[in-house]
Amino acid sequence: MLIKFVPVYRITNKIASALIRLEGLKERIKALPITPSVLAHLRETATLFSTHYSTKIEGNRLSEKDVEGVLIKHRHVPGRERDESEVKGYYRALEEVERLAGKRTAITEKQIQTIHAYVLSAGKGAVVPTPYRDGQNVVKDSLTGGIVYMPPEARDVPALMAGMVDWLNAMDGDIPAPIRAAITHYQFATIHPYYDGNGRTARLLTTLVLHIGGYDLKGIYSLEEYYARKLQAYYDVLTIGPSHNYYLGREKADITGWLEYFINGMADAFEKVQAQAGAAADNAEGDASPILRQLDPRQRKALTIFARQELITSTDLAGLFNFAPRTARALLGQWVKKGFLAVADPSKKARKYKLSKKFSGLF
């Protein structure tokens, strides 16, 4: 069963001009000759920014430097265990979003539930799709305790989510991806299908819609930073309608203001990327992003080691991902079978690996 979803909005001059700006920026950024090392750096920076700012919106207290220390250098921040778990979960969820985007298939409820499971996973262990809430939840003002928003009843959530996903896939090709992404973000936040993690999952789902729709921009931009910098406006344009109750007008509210905010945020992020990528690109080398797209997030991250050295060991990989040695060895073996790596030194005690011929030209 599904409840038909029909969003209410207008394409204003502001939205139309922002969409035109986006298209121009997207094409200019695609044409930039970005080297493998620069692309890997920009991707990692964007992922860290997305993780930091998306969790910060929800009250996470880690600084940018803390987030990098926790995720890249595997450092511990005393007294911030919950904050560390949040950023690890979000970072892992971003990897799952990128994996799903690479499939270029229709978005499903199971995928959304899996992304939510990663959000709450604390960055470790296997996950299973999270079922929707089975009771009522409310959004309250942290200062006054008053109710800011009363989401739909739990019994209606499955049908509302089914309706949203059906609309999202039916409109593929009919509505520009930025508009579909913005509407999906709003509707997910409106349904509020979980007790916790709704905002983070909404932003991740937005990223998935954009990437599948051709707005992946080589994975080097972060919308979350824009939201965090204009946080009150973010809340204001999401909090619309004649009542805080879903059933008293929220589900039929005009979301034009939200679309204007969202599309302008994308243009802002794209302009920042153009400046960064343009300054960093080495015009003497070709753009290697097509071959990099063949790699999964962990393989691309492993390239940061090869940028410094020709050969790696299981100890190098274990240190990069904070894996147990046995796990690192198993992953290296898988990468050899997939053609990403080749064995350079077959010694069982200190086996060394190099990039396969297909990828050795990256450095």
pLDDT at 195: 95
342 DSSP β-pair partners = 354
* Mean pLDDT, residues 126-150 taken together: 88
Alpha carbons 157 and 159: distance in angstroms, whole number: 6
Query: If one looks up domain 13-280 in CATH, what number appears?
Result: 1.10.3290.10
338: closest CA among 363, 361, 359, 323?
Answer: 359
pLDDT at 283 over 50: no
Q: Which regions of the chain carry the CATH code 1.10.10.10?
A: 294-360
Instruction: Name residue 140's amino acid.
Output: K
C-alpha to C-alpha distance for 290 and 160, rounded to whole angstroms: 38
Q: How many CB atoms lie within 10 A of CB 334?
A: 11
Q: Where in the chain is the domain with CATH 1.10.3290.10?
A: 13-280
Tell me the percentage of the chain whose pLDDT exceeds 70.
Answer: 93
Is residue 116 a contact partner of residue 81, using CB atoms and an 8 Å limit?
Answer: no
Mean pLDDT of 16-33: 86
Q: Residue 86's closest CA among 46, 52, 128?
A: 52
Partners of residue 341 on adjacent β-strands: 355
Q: What is the mean pLDDT of residues 236-248?
A: 84
Residue 208, both tokens: 């998935």
Radius of gyration over alpha carbons of the chain, in Å?
A: 21
pLDDT band of 146, cuts 50, 70, 90: confident
In this structure, of 95-104, 124-133, 195-204, the range with the lowest mean pLDDT score is: 95-104
- Mean of pLDDT values over 286-312: 76
Q: What is the pLDDT of residue 316?
A: 86
- Yes or no: say if 114 and 216 are a contact pair by the CB < 8 Å rule: no
Can you give the pLDDT at residue 66? 94
Q: What is the pLDDT of residue 82?
A: 94
d(CA 86, CA 265): 24
pLDDT value at residue 89: 94
Question: What is the pLDDT at residue 302?
Answer: 85
Question: What is the mean pLDDT of the segment spanning 312-341?
Answer: 88
Nearest to 329 by CA among 294, 353, 295: 353
Task: Note whether 2 and 181 are within 8 A (CB).
Answer: no
Average pLDDT over residues 66-83: 91
pLDDT at 276 over 80: no
Return the percentage of the chain with pLDDT > 90, whole number.
48
Burial of 212 (0-12, 13-18, 19+ CB in 10 A): buried
Which single residue is written with the structure tokens 């069982």? 348
Answer yes or no: is pLDDT of 254 > 50: yes
Average pLDDT over residues 162-189: 94
> What is the model's pLDDT at position 96?
92
Across the chain, mean pLDDT equals: 87
Whether the predicted pLDDT of 169 surpasses 80: yes
> pTM of the prediction?
0.79
Helix H, strand E, coil C: the string for the chain is CCCCCCCECCCCHHHHHHHHHHHHHHHHHHCCCCCHHHHHHHHHHHHHHHHHHHHHHCCCCCCHHHHHHHHCCCCCCCCCHHHHHHHHHHHHHHHHHHHHHHHCCCCCHHHHHHHHHHHCCCCCCCCCCCCCCCCCCCEECCCCCCEEEECCCHHHHHHHHHHHHHHHHHCECCECHHHHHHHHHHHHHHHCCCCCCHHHHHHHHHHHHHHHCCCCHHHCCCHHHHHHHCHHHHHHHHCCCCCCEHHHCHHHCECHHHHHHHHHHHHHHHHHHHHHHHHHCCCCCCCCHHHHCCCCHHHHHHHHHHCCCCCECHHHHHHHHCCCHHHHHHHHHHHHHCCCEEEEECCCCCCEEEECHHHHCCC
The predicted model gives 38-48 an average pLDDT of 79
Amino acid of residue 97: V
Q: Does domain 294-360 have CATH number 1.10.10.60?
A: no
Q: Quick check: 72 pLDDT over 60?
A: yes
Residue 360 banded pLDDT, cuts 50, 70, 90: confident
- Identity of the amino acid at 266: M
